[in-house]
Amino acid sequence: MKYISTRGEAPALEFDDVLLAGLARDGGLYVPETYPELSSAEIAAMAGKSFADIAETVIAPFVGETIDRGALSQILHTAYSAPEPFHHQAITPLVQVGRNTFVLELFHGPTLAFKDVAMQVLARLMDHVLAKRTQTAMIVGATSGDTGGAAIEAFRKSSRARMMILYPQGRVSDVQRRMMTTPTEKSVSTLAVDGTFDDCQALVKAMFADHDFRDRVALSGVNSINWARIVAQVTYYFVAAVALGAPRRKVSFAVPTGNFGDIFAGYVAKRMGLPIETLVIASNDNDILPRTTTTGVYEKRGVVATTSPSMDIQVSSNFERWLFEAQGRDAALVRSQMRSLQQSGAFEVQGGSSVVQADFHAGAASEAEVAKVVETALSASGYLVEPHTACALKVVSDLTATKACDPSVPMVVLATAHPAKFPEAMARITGRATPLPSRLSHLMSEPEVTQPIANDLAAIKAAVEAMAHNTTR
C-alpha cells in the first residue's frame, strides 16, 4: 500500500513512513493510492467480534507489510482493552435514544473523547516503528480541545517521542486544559497560544513547511493530518453499522465535526464497502462546512466562541482530502484552491454544491438550539448529551423533518465527548453539576504546568527546538 499527497509534489510513501511524516513535504495530506474494499461476507463476519478484531480487519490492508501482522494485532489488542485504557468492554457502545436513532459513545477512553480511539493506537504504532528504526521523534500538534489531552495521555509514557501541544489560550474548557497541563512527565508539554485554534493549526503547518527545521528536530505530527488517525477512526463506523445489521441493512451517521477528520473516516468506511446511506455534517455557529455544502464555496469568516469549542474552526484540514477525491484526484486544482484559501480566505469546489451534496448532508445548530436539545433529551429519556453531540442531534432532527434523511434507516449520532468535559456549559444549560468519573476526580486539584506564548512562529519554533534537543526525559 502506497500513499500519495493531495498536492501531488511529494514522493509516494509506505504506511510506516506516512505514520512518522504526518504532513507531506509539499504541504499536502497523504491518502492511499487505492482504497481497499471489504466484501459483504467479510463485513458480515465482523458480527460478534471484539473491537480489536474488527480494527485489525479494517486497518491491516492500509498497513500492508510495513508492520508485521502479529505485531499489529498485539498493538490493537493492547490499545483496545478494558478496564484500561478503555472503561467499557464494548469500547464504543451504542445507546438507543429514539425510535431509530442511536448514540455511539466514543468517550470511554482515558480522556473522555473520541480522539482516544485513534490516539491510543497511534502512540503504540509510532513507538513500534521508531524502536524498529532506533529513532526518536519530536511531535508537535494543535488542539481545539480534545486532541491535546488524548495525545499527551497516549504519548506520556513513550520511550521514543517527545511532544509539544499548542492550544488557544482561554478557548478550551477547564477540563480539556487540565488534561493537557497536569501530566508531570518531562517528555510532554504545552504552549498556550494567544490566538485561535486556526492560528495554532497554521503554526504547526508552517513548522512542517520549513524542511530544514523539520529534519533538524525530527518533526512528526499527531493531528488528523496524520493518516493513521483517520484509518483508526474508520473502525467504529464498521463496529456500529454491523451491530445494527450491516451489511444486510444500510446505516446513516451524523458527525459533529470541525476539522473534518472524523467524518472523512466515515467517507473512507463507505469507500471500503460499508453500506452507509447518509453522512451528515453537524456544526455549531461556526458553520463553514454547512455553508460549503449549500453554496459550493468554502469561505472563512471569524471564529465565534461556543459551548462546543472543538468545532470553533474555520480551516478544516481534512476537507482537503475529500476535495482531492471528489475532484478526480486533481492535485494541481487542490494546490490552486489551497493558495486561494490562504490568499483570499475562500475557494470554489469544482462542480459546486451538488458535488458536496453527493457525499454529505449538513446543518448547524445555534447556541440556543444546543441548549434546548440537551434539556429535551434529559427530560425525555434521562440521557445527558454534551454540546457537540447536541449539535448533531439537532441537525438530524431538522433533516428528518424535511425528509432529507430517511427515517427508516438507523441513524447513528457520534457522541464525541463526555458531558463532564464541559462542566461550565452543562451547568448553565441543566442547572446542575456534571461530575467527572471517579477515576478522574483528582484532575481539578492537580497543579498545572503550561507556557503562555505569543502567536509568533519564531518563538514557538525556538520552544520546540529546545525541547527536541533536551535529553532529559
Would you please indicate which residues are annotated as catalytic (active-site) residues? 115
Q: Measured between alpha carbons, how far is 102 from 95 in angstroms, rounded to an integer? A: 5
194, 169 Cβ separation under 8 angstroms: yes
What is the signed CA dihedral for 64, 127, 151, 283, rounded to 10 degrees?
Answer: -10
* Measured CA distances, 375 to 80, 250, 310, 383, 424 (Å): 33, 30, 21, 10, 15
10, three cell numbers: 511529494
349, 320 Cβ separation under 8 angstroms: no
93, 108 Cβ separation under 8 angstroms: yes
Q: Measured between alpha carbons, how far is 250 from 171 in angstroms, rounded to an integer? A: 38
Give CA angle at 124 (113, 108), nearest 5°: 20
* Measured CA distances, 62 to 51, 151, 234, 248 (Å): 17, 22, 11, 25
387, 422 Cβ separation under 8 angstroms: yes
Residue 379, Cβ neighbours under 10 Å: how many?
10
27, 338 Cβ separation under 8 angstroms: yes
Look at the block and give the residue holding cell 458480527. Answer: 47
Provide the H-helix boundaries in 210-303: 211-217, 227-243, 261-271, 288-295
Q: Measured between alpha carbons, how far is 111 from 418 in angstroms, rounded to an integer? A: 9
HSE, side-chain direction, 13 A CA sphere, residue 406: 10
